[in-house]
Amino acid sequence: MKLVRLSSGEEVIGKVVDNGSDVTITDGYSLIPAGEGKIGFMPFMAYTKAKQGITIPKNFVVFMVDPVDELVDQVRQMDTGLVTPKSKIIS
């Protein structure tokens, strides 16, 4: 899972495949500022029939990075309904 910043300023988190001159984003969510230090999520291109993902030329991608684990867990929870427990060492 990657966090992609597009040249439009939009940030998208999802599964990313690098195709050379472009990238394909599947299961993506747009990150939306939701007030003081909070982030909201909206399905990326939800109003389309693009079930196989959206392919974007790399000249529209500013950067791609690995998101923090908490963000990945939140997206995974939205996709599957599964809650990932915090890892703790039992002593």
- The CATH number of the domain covering residues in 2-80: 2.30.30.100
pLDDT over 60 at 28, yes or no: yes
Q: What pLDDT score does 79 carry?
A: 75
| 3-class DSSP state of 76 | helix
Mean pLDDT of 15-20: 95
- Of 59 and 37, the one with more pLDDT: 59
| 3-class DSSP state of 54 | strand
Mean pLDDT of 52-57: 93
Q: Could you tell me the pLDDT band of residue 26, with boundaries at 50, 70 and 90?
A: very high
Q: What is the pTM of this model?
A: 0.82
**Domain extents for the chain?**
2-80
Strand partners, 40: 32
